[in-house]
Structure 1
Amino acid sequence: MCTSLTYQNSRGDHFLARTMDFAFELNGQPMFMPRNFTVQGDAGEFTTQYGFIGAGRKIGHEMFVDGVNEHGLGVAALYFPANAHYVQHADADKQGIAPHDFTAWALGNAASVEDLRQLVQEIQLVDVPVALLKITTPLHFIVSDPTGDTAVLEATNKDLQLLDDPVGVMTNSPDLGWHLQNLSTYGTLTAEERPLHDYQGYQLKTQGPGTGAFGLPGDYTSPSRFIRTVFAKHFSQPTPDIPSTLNLLQHLLDGVTIPKGVKLKADGESDYTQYRGYMSLEERAYYMEPYDNAELQRVVLTDDMLANCHEPINYALAHQPHIKELN
């Protein structure tokens, strides 16, 4: 399971951030994918037009779960159990893409969300399993770009289209429409303290600030994480630059980050936040924060990389937390 959100700071910088929540150890790491590179995808090969960076792993071929490309398009894949429906074989006039290859295909071929709206009409997601997991992963995808345009792709039938995401938040099942309707249940929540009534002449004593959020769900289910993230994003104080925005995004994701052991699956395995990824869209930078090290680790997509690097690059993460001694 996962949580994602977009954010625009007061300077106009755009971001896409996400938690990667999963029980199976994905061992994701920052990766660079060059322009004009042919990927041997599980449903057929495709070639990147644009270079990009993100989090992924090579399992037979390079697979990405999120990232940002040279035009500032950000994409993140999230689990979508019991709702994703894929075709067995692509139609003759469509290109077949495995669901776990969609992120790399989109980052490698779309320059914007509007561009992707057109391109997805040319593909279909095919029921092909990931070799490592032995299952076809049920996924949906949130996409955003430096214009602030944000949408979600949900493969609920063979014809794909992007759905506008007006709140810039996505979690897991149910679908986006359900989450937006459910949001109305919590439409009276506020960051301000609510005054208490005088009952039968008895003046209630205040419990202090925070009463405006009475009813805000605190569990780790997808609907609750969606509501909590929209609330925190909406009422958070604006930030003026990239460092302060990254710090804010870390705090926003704190509210939905899952420690090991507190969310167990039926088989007893712990579904937890393996890493948190932050895509700085105008900066064309990817920041990764693994579970065991809260220090952000950055890779920037430079013009030199795009012009001179012609093979994928893997970047090693530092997993030991650093504690600074104060003098």
Structure 2
Amino acid sequence: MCTSLTLQTTGGDQFLARTMDFAFELGGRPVAMPRQQHFNSVVTTAGFETPYSFVGTGRNLNGYIFVDGVNEYGVSVAALYFSGQAHYAQTAVADKLNLAPHEVLMWILGNVKSAQELGDRLNELAIVEAAAPLLNIVVPLHWIISDRSGATYVLEQEADGMHYMVNPVGVMTNTPDFGWHLKNLSNYVQLQPGPQPDRQYGDFEVKPFGPGTGALGMPGDYTSPSRFVRTVFMRQYADPVETDAEAINALSHLLNSVEITKGVKLQADGSSDYTQYRAYMSMHEPAFYIQPYDDQTITRVALTADLMTASQPTEFPLATTQQFNRVN
């Protein structure tokens, strides 16, 4: 279960951020993928090519798998769980590029220059039920896609086909489908950053207890609908930011409201979903930032010319802060 959102600076620079909330330890780290790579596929022997370079959270499992990232043209993508509603083809489809759900993100980052181009090329693709290495399951996914222009879309495949939808609120979480989440916002039109006014009931005047009453009724739990509402509200009313550093700082604070601490969200088997990391993708640089749970230090990897033309992928260790500064 994850939360994602976009943010744009006052100068027009676009960012995509996400939490990775999962119980199974994914073990990802920043990986820069150079141009002109070949990816094997679990669906067909042909695999697929990625002419464009990208950087994101990856892991080498006899071939790299990515779950988020940004490419050299500023297209940024995050894959989020879509359990119970994702529906894929049972077998490979003739005359299509057949991909497993966990392969879609790598193809997008390696092959398109804009969110619009992806929409134009979706008829080339078929998403097929095929298990991902490590998890050994067909991963139910949907995707949020954004580019340097600020255009943001959601890609979902359900029983009635593939849907590529404009995302007008810049937020995505998990099941139910994206259209449902937009409709659900109608239940929260009373939310506002300012206080609620005094109310008169007969001869009795009721005054708010204090600041913050504008957010009365905003859901605070960790379900997907609640995280969606909370993030839409926070994103809408957060102060504007000007610089890259301010954008990363603001995104970190925005995701604080949906970060899941270990032990507070348990699955039926007793395992704990928690926010393993947060990722921030800067589309104009382009650059990738990652902030892990166990050490809040942010690691930044810019997609340089050397990385884009390297002979092989480049993995980066996570930066750490080993000790706190102590004041006696």
Is the 1:121–1:161 Cα contact (8 Å) retained in structure 2? no
Which range moved further: 273-282 or 191-200? 191-200
- 2:322 & 2:198 partners in 1: Cα distance? 45
After superposition, give the CA deviation of every residue in 1:272-301 in whole Å (9 maximum; x if it has no partner): 000000001101100000001112110000
AA partner of residue 51 (structure 1): S
Partner residue in 1 for 2:154: 152
Structure 1 residue runs of 5 or longer lacking an equivalent are none
Partner residue in 2 for 1:7: 7
After superposition, give the CA deviation of every residue in 1:61-80 in whole Å (9 maximum; x if it has no partner): 10000000000000000000
Q: 2:268 aligns with which of 262, 266, 269?
A: 266
Which range moved further: 94-103 or 216-225? 94-103
AA partner of residue 318 (structure 1): A
Is the 1:79–1:137 Cα contact (8 Å) retained in structure 2? yes
AA partner of residue 62 (structure 2): G
Partner residue in 2 for 1:26: 26
Residues 139 and 321 (structure 1), Cα distance of their counterparts in 2 relative to 1, 3 Å cut: farther
Is the 2:52–2:111 Cα contact (8 Å) retained in structure 1? yes
After superposition, give the CA deviation of every residue in 1:227-260 in whole Å (9 maximum; x if it has no partner): 0000000000001110011100000000000000
Q: 1:102 aligns with which of 101, 104, 110?
A: 104
**TM-score calculated relative to the size of structure 2:** 0.96
Is the 1:63–1:101 Cα contact (8 Å) retained in structure 2? yes
Q: 1:241 aligns with which of 240, 243, 246?
A: 243
Is residue 177 of structure 2 the alignment partner of residue 175 of structure 1? yes
After superposition, give the CA deviation of every residue in 1:37-95 in whole Å (9 maximum; x if it has no partner): 10112223111110000001111210000000000000000000000001122221111
- 1:40 & 1:196 partners in 2: Cα distance? 63
Partner residue in 1 for 2:212: 210
Secondary structure at 2:181's aligned position in 1?
Answer: helix
AA partner of residue 149 (structure 1): A
AA partner of residue 177 (structure 2): D
The alpha-carbon deviation at position 325 of structure 1 amounts to 5.2
Identity across the alignment (%):
50
After superposition, give the CA deviation of every residue in 1:169-214 in whole Å (9 maximum; x if it has no partner): 0000000000000011112210011112133323334311111111
Secondary structure at 1:160's aligned position in 2?
Answer: strand
Partner residue in 2 for 1:282: 284
Residues 38 and 151 (structure 1), Cα distance of their counterparts in 2 relative to 1, 3 Å cut: same
Residues 28 and 15 (structure 1), Cα distance of their counterparts in 2 relative to 1, 3 Å cut: same
AA partner of residue 169 (structure 1): V
The alpha-carbon deviation at position 13 of structure 1 amounts to 0.8
Alpha carbon RMSD of aligned pairs, Å?
1.5
Residues 214 and 321 (structure 1), Cα distance of their counterparts in 2 relative to 1, 3 Å cut: farther
The alpha-carbon deviation at position 161 of structure 1 amounts to 3.9
Secondary structure at 1:86's aligned position in 2?
Answer: coil
Secondary structure at 1:246's aligned position in 2?
Answer: helix
Secondary structure at 1:72's aligned position in 2?
Answer: coil
How many residue pairs match? The answer is: 326
AA partner of residue 313 (structure 2): P
Is the 1:54–1:65 Cα contact (8 Å) retained in structure 2? yes
- 1:18 & 1:5 partners in 2: Cα distance? 6
The alpha-carbon deviation at position 321 of structure 1 amounts to 5.2
Partner residue in 1 for 2:295: 293
AA partner of residue 234 (structure 1): Q
The alpha-carbon deviation at position 133 of structure 1 amounts to 1.2
- 1:326 & 1:18 partners in 2: Cα distance? 34
Is the 1:53–1:68 Cα contact (8 Å) retained in structure 2? yes
Q: 2:52 aligns with which of 50, 53, 60?
A: 50
Residues 322 and 241 (structure 1), Cα distance of their counterparts in 2 relative to 1, 3 Å cut: farther
The alpha-carbon deviation at position 312 of structure 1 amounts to 1.0
- 1:207 & 1:322 partners in 2: Cα distance? 41
Secondary structure at 1:251's aligned position in 2?
Answer: helix
Is the 2:219–2:229 Cα contact (8 Å) retained in structure 1? yes
The alpha-carbon deviation at position 168 of structure 1 amounts to 0.8
Is the 1:120–1:161 Cα contact (8 Å) retained in structure 2? no
Is the 1:7–1:15 Cα contact (8 Å) retained in structure 2? yes
Once the two structures are superposed, the pairs formed by residues 48-87 of structure 1 within 5 Å of their partners are: 48-87=50-89
Partner residue in 2 for 1:40: 40
Residues 322 and 118 (structure 1), Cα distance of their counterparts in 2 relative to 1, 3 Å cut: farther
